[in-house]
Amino acid sequence: MESGLNKKVLLAIAIASLSGCGGGGSGSGGTDSGGNEPTPDPLPTPVEREEQSEQAPTFSGKAADGYLASALVCLDLNANLKCDSDEPNAITDDQGNFTLEATEEQKAAHSVVVKAIAGQTIVLDNPDETIDKPFTLTAPPGQEFISPLSTLVAKALKDNPELTPEQIGRAHV
């Protein structure tokens, strides 16, 4: 029991310390949670869909570590934290906004993944340069604002499946 409490206290400290971060720049997120340099995944081409007689359902969101322009975004249908070619995907606009084709059920059941791409993605805190190192952000299913904080919450939920996002959010107060 004490070990679980210690994990929650450490998580609360980590979330509280990151909640004041104002975003990144080219140095943000260069390593994964294990301290290893991430290996870039092959990037899928945004899915081009034939025009349909009915408008496909969509939802919009925002990618931020400082707002991220030209980052790849996908709905991670198979929970592998990668943007696979068969998953709904898009590239963020010049303000970090994205729109994905997905049903409300898909949105509620699957996480959004943001892949910041070295040499392509721009952190709008430093709009004249692309990032040097790739990084990945995610959020719990149903979330539309993807950031380092939402990534920590998603990891905490994975590590503590008995908790809800609301419980994790209250833990840092």
71: Cα within 13 Å, side-chain hemisphere: 34
Q: What is the pLDDT along the chain (173 residues), one digit of tens a residue?
A: 444 544 554 444 444 444 444 344 444 444 444 555 555 555 555 555 444 446 789 999 999 999 999 999 999 999 999 999 999 999 999 999 999 999 999 999 999 999 999 999 999 999 999 999 999 999 999 999 999 999 999 999 989 889 887 787 776 54
Tell me the pTM.
Answer: 0.69
d(CA 90, CA 93): 9
pLDDT at 91: 98
133, 26 Cβ separation under 8 angstroms: yes
pLDDT at 52: 44
pLDDT at 38: 52
pLDDT at 169: 72
pLDDT at 31: 44
61, 145 Cβ separation under 8 angstroms: yes
pLDDT at 13: 43
